[in-house]
Amino acid sequence: MTRAITLHDVSKTYTRGVRVVDRLSLDIAPGEFLVLLGPSGCGKSTVLRMIAGLEEITEGQLLLDGQYANDLLPAERRMAMVFQNFALYPNMTGRGNIGFPLRVENPQADPGPRVDATARMLGIEDLLDRLPAQLSGGERQRVAMGRAIARHPSAFLMDEPLSNLDAKLRNHLRAEITKLTRELGVTTVYVTHDQSEAMSLGDRVAVLRGGVLQQVDTPRRVYALPANVFVAAFIGTPRINLLRGLIRAPLDGAMTISLGKQYLRLPEPLSLDHQLLRVQQGREVIVGLRSEAVRIAKPASARPGEVLITGLVEHVEFQGHEALVHLDTGSRPAVVPELEAPRPVRPARRRRREGTVLDKLKERAGALRAGPVVVLDDPQDQDEGEGQDRHKDQDRHKDQDRHKDQDQGRDRNKDQGRDRGWNAAPARREDPVPPEGRLPGDLIVRTTPDIDLRRGMQVPLLVDLAHLFVFDQHGERICPAPARLPDLEE
Ligand SMILES: Nc1ncnc2c1ncn2[C@@H]1O[C@H](COP(=O)(O)OP(=O)(O)OP(=O)(O)O)[C@@H](O)[C@H]1O
C-alpha cells in the first residue's frame, strides 16, 4: 500500500528557461514522513505536483517503488493530495465530499462503509451531513483529510494543509496528522514554509532554496548540523545570531575569532573543529550562535568551554515563560538574503577567477537577482593573508565602528519585527534603498523572565564554544567541520 518515492535529478522549467526546481534528488522511504521546507516561491509545491503527476517533469526521473513513473497518469499513481484551501465541493455534504473519489474510482460500490469508517477514525461523524459553508476551517480540513484517507492511497501529498487555520487549531491538527499518518503508515510528503511545523512533523526535513536542495536530514540533525548558513538561519526560533567574524590564528598566541570590538578566545587545547579553523587565518567568516549558546551570567560561573564577552542591553522582549534580550556587543550581523524570496532564484555560484566580460555581467545580474549567499565586508578585507598585526586589527575595529555607525543609521528603519535579528544587518553596499526599521541589537539571548534587565545595562555574556557555528564566505559550514573536509586547493 505505502510506497517509496525517488526523485533523481529532477528539474522543472516553466517559461523563459527559469528552472524553478533544479536537479533535485531525494529518496523517500515507504512510510516515511518527509517535509519539504523553504521560503515562498522556492519550488515546494512544484515538487509535490510533479510527484502527483499534475505537473510534467522537465528533466530527470521519478521512480515509484523503483519503477519509472514520469509518464503515469495522476490516477495511476494512487496518491491523495490535501491542499491549503481544502478544495471541497461546496454543494456536497461532508459525506458527499469524502465519498466522491470512491464513487469515481468504483461507481458500482457503495462508498458508505468506507466513509463511515474514515469519519470514525477522524472523529468527524457529526460533520458528515453538513455542507462546507456550515463548517469551520478546521472542520473543513478534517473533511478534506477524510477524503484523502478514504481512498487508501499509497502516499499522501499535503500542500500547506494547515496554513489557513489559526495557531491553536494548527497545533491541534498537526498532532492529529502525526498520529494519523503514523497509524496508517503511508508515505507522506508535506510542504510547508513553517520551520516549526516541519521540525515537529517530519521524520526528515528537506530544505529548499531557489529550487535547489540545501540539506535533507532528521529535524535534530538539520538543527544541530546545518549544512550552510541559509539552513541555519531558516531553522530555529529565535533565529540564530549571525555575526561577522575574523579568524586570528597567530603562530605564537591564542586563536581567536574577532567580533568587531570583542573576540572569542578559543579554549586550549583546541578541539579538532577549532584546529581546522586555523586555515581560515585572516579570513572573514560568519559566526553562528543560537540563543542557547549564550547566557547572561556572572563570569565566575563560567563552565569549561564558555568564554566571556559583554553586551549592552538594547531591548527586552517579554514572552511570558522567557525573555528575549537584544544586546549590542559591538559586532556586525551578517545577512542571508532571500530568506523570504518572493520568487525562485538560482543560488550565487562561486566567483570564477577567470571569465569573459559576458560571464561577469551574467554573474552580476545573477547576484543582483539572488543576492550573494552571505554578505561580508569589502572584498579587500576578505583576502587578508597571514601576518596581520595588532595595529591592523585595531584599524579594523575603528573601521568596523565607523561602518557600524553608518549601518545603524541605515538600519533604523528596517523591517520592524518581521525577522528578529536578521534585518539588523546593514544593507548591501550597492543597495540604494535604505532598509526599514528594525529591532535593535546584534545578539539575541534567551533568559528567564524574572531577571531585571533594563536598556543601557552592560551585562556579562558567557558563550559556550561547544555550540559555536562558523560558516565561510560562501555560507558553507566549516565548524563543526563538515563530514567531507574541504579540498585545501579550493
Ligand atoms: N504554472 C506556472 N507557470 C509559471 N510559473 C510557475 C507556475 N507555477 C509556479 N510557478 C513559479 O514557480 C516558482 C515556484 O513555485 P511554487 O508554487 O512551487 O513555490 P512554493 O515554494 O510552493 O511557494 P509557496 O510557498 O508560495 O506556495 C514560483 O516562482 C512560481 O511563480
**Rounded distance between C-alpha atoms, residue 48 and residue 67, angstroms:** 18
Residues of the chain with pLDDT under 70: 1, 86, 337-440, 483-490
For ligand 1, say whether the CB of 38 is within 6 Å of any of its atoms: yes
Which three three-digit cell numbers place residue 488?
A: 585545501
Cα 369 to ligand 1 centroid, rounded to whole Å: 17
Confidence (pLDDT) at 54: 94
For ligand 1, say whether the CB of 14 is within 6 Å of any of its atoms: yes
- ipTM of the modeled complex: 0.97
Cα 20 to ligand 1 centroid, rounded to whole Å: 7
> 244 has which bridge partners?
286
Confidence (pLDDT) at 338: 60
Interacting residues of 83 by C-beta distance below 8 A, sequence separation 6+: 144, 159, 160, 161
Name the residue at shortest CA distance from atom 7 of ligand 1: 14
Query: CB of 205 within 8 A of CB of 219?
Result: yes
Cα 164 to ligand 1 centroid, rounded to whole Å: 18
Query: What is the residue type of 22?
Result: D
Confidence (pLDDT) at 487: 55
For ligand 1, say whether the CB of 192 is within 6 Å of any of its atoms: no
Query: What is the residue type of 72?
Result: L
Confidence (pLDDT) at 339: 58
**Rounded distance between C-alpha atoms, residue 25 and residue 198, angstroms:** 19
Report the half-sphere exposure of 238 (CA within 13 A, side-chain side): 27
Domain boundaries, the chain: 229-337+372-479
Name the residue at shortest CA distance from atom 3 of ligand 1: 14
Confidence (pLDDT) at 439: 55
Is this model's pTM higher than 0.90 or not?
no
pLDDT tens for each residue of 73-97 = 998 999 998 888 768 899 999 999 9
Name the residue at shortest CA distance from atom 9 of ligand 1: 46
Cα 375 to ligand 1 centroid, rounded to whole Å: 26
For ligand 1, say whether the CB of 193 is within 6 Å of any of its atoms: yes
pLDDT tens for each residue of 12-52 = 999 878 899 999 999 999 999 999 999 999 999 999 999 99
**Rounded distance between C-alpha atoms, residue 128 and residue 333, angstroms:** 54
Please state, as a whole number, how many other Cβ atoms lie within 10 Å of the Cβ of residue 434. Answer: 12
Quickly list H helices, 334-382.
357-370, 379-382
Query: CB of 154 within 8 A of CB of 1?
Result: yes
Confidence (pLDDT) at 355: 42
Name the residue at shortest CA distance from atom 6 of ligand 1: 14
For ligand 1, say whether the CB of 12 is within 6 Å of any of its atoms: no
Cα 57 to ligand 1 centroid, rounded to whole Å: 14
DSSP class of 84: T
Site to substitute for ligand 1 among 12, 16, 44, 159, most atoms within 8 A of C-beta? 44
Residue 397, Cα to own-chain centre: how many angstroms? 32
For ligand 1, say whether the CB of 370 is within 6 Å of any of its atoms: no
Angle between the N-to-C axes of helices 112-122 and 137-150, in degrees from 0 to 180, rounded to the nearest 10? 130
Cα 43 to ligand 1 centroid, rounded to whole Å: 6
For ligand 1, say whether the CB of 343 is within 6 Å of any of its atoms: yes
